[in-house]
Structure formats: structure tokens, C-alpha cells
């Protein structure tokens, strides 16, 4: 495993706001071996310091626990000193990356130039599991029990999972585990070398089965798909009678929203991207636009069965909805200021 070097990282947050960091866990890997670990509580930035009951129920950290904890400014320096020149690996990296960025924004700090790799996407690509949540991945790899949602424990098991996958498939470097994305890569990238012109987009199949939910739809994509490229997805929807489009317009009837976990069915538009904001504006004016998950899309493609999707708990749905509402209200507030 010579050359497999990285730092696994995991954050916990006080509430649904990504900047409300309250704990961090770190595990340093050298040549495929965990050689150092660290974890500590963090006092969230003052502007996002309120703890929600939902988050407390997940990780068990409350206001009293962080009263004398170090600030984010101090913690960031400790994190960067621990990692050195390492790239970070996290299980659901988009979350942990956004926590780091959000905490910096709330604290008035510059965001460090860091690279994150996602072990969820690695598991999706290489392991055939019903769910790619960390406990399921750890169990599938024979890593034993751990304390989920304890930042230190999660970072250590994330590191162990990456090492186990690297050994299983003889991929002994980060560049082999996460190869550079190209327009023809097999999964995890939605991008083309350039945005296709209208003439380059695949045309809807006029002979397709009209009973498929995609038939007759005008479909736009936003965000990364986890299990296929956007180019592949566009080709598939066109074959089923849908018209792929680059941008949300008055003709749009469906918006596919990429999520880190492709097994999640629930989608809420959050004003997190220009396409989502535009869709919300059109929907507010009475246009019917359906928000669709990658999970549903795969079912319509015939790649998955409905029972293959992850059963979402009420906390999952409430957390997603809370995040969506928070993002939408923040966007509305910015619009009013303008």
C-alpha cells in the first residue's frame, strides 16, 4: 500500500446550517496504515451557535459540552497542521467540505485551498451495496462496530474503509481510487468537455413507450449524478421519449437534482443552484415542474427496482426539508436586500 496517503475527516454540526460545526475527527493514513488520530469538540461560530434537538439526538453534543471548547479559528489551524499537505477524504465529502467552508464564512476567515475525495462515491462505484451509509460500508468490509456520529470514530472507520477498498481492488493511490474526471468517465461526473449546443443534444425517441413517466417531458439536470454521467443520463431519457435541455425555461417540466446518496428518493428544491432558483421562480408563477431524484430516474431507466431505494427515516426527510427551507429563506432575504 506504499503511496496511499491521506487524512480522513468528519464534522458534526449543531443545526442544519453547514457552518455550525461542533466537532471534528481526523485520521492520518500513511502507506495504507492509520498512523495518527485526533478529535475534539468545537464551539460553533456565534451566528450559528444554536443547537437543534434533531442534531443533538444524532450526535449527543449539546451547548454545555462546547462552552469551553476551542473556536473554529483555532480548530482550523489545528486541522490544517494535522493534515499537512494531505488531501482530505470524507464519507459524503460535499457535506464535510461545505461545513469547512461555512464555518470559515461565519467566522470571517479565508477558506483554505483543500481537496476532498468522497468515500460514498467510491463505495457506490466499487461496492454492490443496498446502502452506502458508513455503517453498511463498514459491515460489508468486515471492519467491525464503531460509534456512528462520533466524529473521531467516523473519521477512523472512513479511513479504514478506504484502505480496505484499496486493498480489495489493488488501487494503491488516491489517483487510482478517484481517477481524474473526464467527459467519458463511468460515474460521478455530470460534465461535458463543453456544454452541448441544442443541435448536439440527443433527440426524443418518438416511438418510445408513452407509459414511462419520462415520455413527453422536457428534462433539465442540476448537480452531480452519482452513478452515471450526465451525457449518459441524457441519452437514456431521450431514448424513453423525453427532451433533454441545458437550461430551465418556460418549457421545462422536470428538474433532476443530483445528490450524494443516489439511493435517496426525497428531493426538495433549495435555491442552491441557478437552475433550482429559476425553477422555483417559474413554479411560483404557476408552471408545473417536477423535482426528481437520481433514484427515481434509475427506476424509470429500468436499472433499479423501487424496493432498492433507501428507506428514509422521518429525521432524513425533516432534515432535508429544513435545509431546503433555510436555503430558500436565505435566498429570499438576499433578494430583498438587493
Q: Which of 161-165, 192-196, 242-246, 322-326 is predicted least confidently?
A: 322-326
**CA 216, CA 207: separation in Å to the nearest integer?**
11
Confidence check: pLDDT of 336 > 70: no
Say yes or no to pLDDT of 200 above 60.
yes
pLDDT score at 272: 63
In this prediction, residue 270 has a pLDDT band, given cuts at 50, 70 and 90, of confident
Question: pLDDT tens-digit profile of 23-66?
Answer: 999 999 999 999 999 999 999 999 999 999 999 999 999 999 99
Percentage of residues in the chain having pLDDT higher than 70: 83
Q: Which residues contact 105 (CB under 8 A, 6 or more apart)?
A: 19, 111
pLDDT of residue 260: 65
Buried/exposed code over 105-128 (b: 16+ C-beta within 10 A; e: otherwise): bbbeeeeeebebbbbbbbbbbebe
Q: Which of 157-161, 185-189, 239-243, 274-278 has the lowest mean pLDDT?
A: 185-189
Contact 230, 190 (CB under 8 A): yes
Looking at per-residue pLDDT, the higher value among 89 and 311 belongs to 89
Question: Model confidence over 2-16: pLDDT tens digits?
Answer: 689 999 999 999 998
Q: How confident is the model over 229-257, as a mean pLDDT?
A: 91
Domains in the chain: ranges and CATH: 6-177 (3.30.420.10), 198-337 (3.40.50.10190)
Grade residue 310 by pLDDT with cuts at 50, 70 and 90: very low
Mean pLDDT of 160-174: 93
Q: Name all contacts of 305-308 with Cβ < 8 Å and 24+ positions apart.
A: 308/130, 308/263
**At residue 70, does pLDDT exceed 80?**
yes
C-beta atoms surrounding 260 within 10 Å: 19
DSSP 8-state code for residue 194: S
DSSP per-residue string spanning 73-125: HHHHHHHHHHHTTPPEEETTHHHHHHHHHHHHHHHT-PPP---EEEHHHHHHH
- Whole-angstrom Cα distance, residue 146 to residue 130? 20
CA distances from 289 to 144, 241, 277, 298, 332 (A): 44, 17, 12, 19, 20
The pTM score is 0.58
Give the integer Cα–Cα distance in Å for 202 and 234. Answer: 7
User: Between helices 151-169 and 119-126, what is the axis angle to 10°?
Assistant: 40
What's the pLDDT band for 130 if we cut at 50, 70, 90? confident
Amino acid at each position: 500500500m506504499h503511496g496511499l496517503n491521506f487524512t480522513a475527516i468528519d464534522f458534526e454540526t449543531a443545526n442544519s446550517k453547514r457552518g455550525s460545526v461542533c466537532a471534528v475527527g481526523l485520521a492520518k493514513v500513511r502507506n495504507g496504515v492509520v498512523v495518527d488520530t485526533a478529535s475534539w469538540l468545537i464551539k460553533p461560530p456565534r451566528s450559528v451557535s444554536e443547537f437543534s434537538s434533531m442534531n443533538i439526538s444524532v450526535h449527543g453534543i449539546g451547548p454545555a459540552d462546547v462552552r469551553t471548547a476551542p473556536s473554529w479559528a483555532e480548530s482550523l489551524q489545528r486541522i490544517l497542521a494535522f493534515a499537512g499537505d494531505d488531501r482530505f477524504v470524507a464519507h459524503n465529502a460535499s457535506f464535510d467540505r461545505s461545513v469547512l467552508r461555512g464555518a470559515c464564512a461565519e467566522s470571517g476567515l479565508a477558506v483554505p485551498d483543500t481537496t476532498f475525495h468522497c468515500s460514498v462515491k467510491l463505495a457506490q462505484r466499487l461496492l454492490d451495496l443496498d446502502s452506502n451509509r458508513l455503517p453498511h460500508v463498514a459491515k460489508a468490509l468486515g471492519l467491525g462496530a464503531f460509534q456512528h456520529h462520533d466524529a473521531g470514530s467516523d473519521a477512523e472507520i472512513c479511513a479504514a474503509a478506504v484502505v480496505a477498498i484499496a486493498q480489495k481492488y489493488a488501487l494503491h493511490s488516491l489517483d487510482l481510487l478517484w481517477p481524474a474526471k473526464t467527459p467519458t468517465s463511468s460515474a460521478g461526473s455530470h460534465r461535458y468537455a463543453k456544454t452541448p449546443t441544442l443541435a448536439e443534444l440527443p433527440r426524443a425517441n418518438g416511438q418510445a413507450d408513452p407509459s414511462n413517466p419520462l415520455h413527453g417531458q422536457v428534462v433539465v439536470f442540476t448537480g452531480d449524478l452519482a452513478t452515471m454521467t450526465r451525457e449518459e443520463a441524457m441519452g437514456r431519457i431521450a431514448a424513453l421519449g423525453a427532451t433533454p435541455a441545458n437550461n430551465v425555461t418556460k418549457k421545462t417540466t422536470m428538474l433532476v437534482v443530483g445528490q450524494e446518496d443516489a439511493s435517496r428518493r426525497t428531493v426538495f428544491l433549495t435555491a442552491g443552484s441557478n437552475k433550482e432558483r429559476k425553477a422555483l421562480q417559474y413554479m411560483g408563477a404557476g408552471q408545473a415542474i417536477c423535482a426528481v431524484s437520481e433514484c427515481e430516474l434509475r427506476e424509470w431507466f429500468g436499472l433499479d427496482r423501487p424496493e432498492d431505494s433507501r428507506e428514509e427515516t422521518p429525521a432524513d426527510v425533516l432534515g432535508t426539508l429544513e435545509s431546503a427551507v433555510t436555503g430558500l429563506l436565505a435566498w429570499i432575504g438576499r433578494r430583498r436586500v438587493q
